Structure 1
């Protein structure tokens, strides 16, 4: 964990005025740009196109609307440049980066893309990584709102059964970003209010399961040993010990 990670952990323990967020989604949907929009500056490397920019979990923080907001960016699901087990291991590190656990997962979907079957597999993988209760803490976040061409997101959701099902699994909530307008702080303020609603609904708790209990371990070896035990036989993911 880098300095920002330890600072966010300290602030979380000593204050309730902290929001911890993990960004999830396919490669090229705008996760890194979304992190920059939330934090109000170029914290994460972000480029146009569908090539993966993020290959490691990365955390940055900023003061946003009077709160310390910590955002963890993750590699894209189905990143063809990474081996499946390496990809799963790296995404799993998001647990450690924002311990004791995130208040919200933002599952980023590009409005330039269609919510096709591969995205349904992503949902299954999210549940495989974090458990079925993850939906209680997840917000579908749509990027490239400038591509709507007069249509509403509500219309798009109703027209796509897979997308509609996913939004319903997440309590019917979602949010929309235009990352080309990072100076539009209203879209960020609305997102933080949505996250506040999740925190209130979950009685102030962050997301916590076996993996997050493991993340409280003081050593990487204990953390990965618990993860490996959790997944073997129950999940189709393999975890390697650090440094091996």
Structure 2
């Protein structure tokens, strides 16, 4: 007769094995959620910041602790939403009419570095009202900034949807259609509307998924060059932390600001000299066209 009983040692071995399996499951990291990077662009007071608040699930009139009514710096924030990690970039000072060339260079550099190596969608934020000549000029400027091929990566976001809901027919009759591939409406006064953010993200994701694999994200040489400098700044920061006996930690905003400073200073090390020069030259030439 076969003896199916187990010894105390065998039971202990089985118990230890199951315990190890449970530990392995507990320590297994969840797979990273795919990133969806969105940049808000448009004229001053078009509703970019309130749209960012809506996307982040906040009160539309919320202000960052460091922000003021005169804030014109780019900011980026992340949020996990369903199956995605959203990265939202706000560009409040991109088309500020009273900026000097130096300030405009700083703003443009800031935007490029925040977005590097590229974005999945530009949200061209505008109001529901009739388009003006100034609107057209501003959209042309944004196209100059990021490249003519941005149309296929731009979605028009109409704010103040509570005042005048838009239809596809309305969009088809507007000149902004020449700068965007699709459209959506936000009511930023009511962040309790359950479907407006999911519907927008569903629309963006559908557009992204229908692109060719190599064209999922909009990028160009300047975004790629900025990414190289950003990676070099991160490496430099980690090395300095290790020298000081600190645990290397990634300070994303610190890396961004160090990269912006590196580009604008034009005093880069030999390794970065060429790519920094290329970025600075492009920024200066672009700003020259805009002023």
1:142 is the counterpart of 2:158 = yes
Q: Secondary structure at the match of 2:46?
A: coil
Q: Which structure 2 segments of 5+ residues have no match?
A: 1-30, 230-258, 264-271
Question: Does the alignment pair 1:202 with 2:216?
Answer: no
Asked if residue 27 in structure 1 is aligned to residue 21 in structure 2, the reply is no
Which residue of structure 2 aligns with residue 215 of structure 1? 226
In the other structure, the counterpart of 1:7 is none
Two-structure CA RMSD over aligned residues (Å): 2.9
2:279 aligns to what?
227
- Judge conservation of contact 2:91–2:111 (CA < 8 Å) in 1: yes
**Where does residue 89 of structure 1 map in the other structure?**
106
Larger Rg: 2
Relative to structure 1, the CA distance from residue 118 to residue 154 in structure 2 (aligned partners, 3 Å threshold; closer, same or farther) is same
What are the superposed Cα offsets for residues 218-239 of structure 1, whole Å, 9 maximum, x if unpaired? Answer: 243356532232255576358x
Structure 1 or 2: more helix by fraction: 2
Report deviation, 1:85.
4.4
Normalised to the residue count of structure 2, the TM-score between the two structures is 0.65
SS in 2 for 1:26: coil
Partners of 1:134 and 1:32 lie apart in 2 by 21
The aligned residue for residue 196 of structure 2 is 187
The structure-2 alpha-carbon separation of the partners of 1:55 and 1:235, relative to structure 1 and needing over 3 Å to count, comes to closer
Secondary structure at the residue paired with 1:96?
helix
5 Å-filtered alignment, 1:1-244, equals 15=32, 17-42=34-59, 45=63, 53-111=70-128, 113-148=129-164, 152-159=166-173, 164-171=174-181, 173-204=182-213, 205-218=216-229, 219=259, 220-221=262-263, 225-231=277-283, 236-237=288-289
Residue in 1 aligned with 2:251?
A: none
Corresponding pairs, count? 214
Give unpaired runs (5+ residues) of structure 1.
1-13, 239-244
> Distance in 1 between the 2:112 and 2:286 partners?
19
Deviation at 1:86, TM superposition (A): 1.5
C-alpha deviation, 1:23, in angstroms: 0.5
Q: What residue number does 1:6 align with?
A: none
In structure 2, C-alpha distance between the alignment counterparts of 1:237 and 1:169, rounded to whole Å: 19
1:28-79 per-position Cα deviation (integer Å, ceiling 9, x unaligned): 1110110111111259628xxxx96541000111111231111010124442
The superposition leaves residues 77-109 of structure 1 with CA deviations (integer Å, 9 ceiling, x where unpaired) of 442342254135314422211322110000100
Residues in 2 aligned to 1:235 and 1:82: alpha-carbon distance in whole angstroms: 11
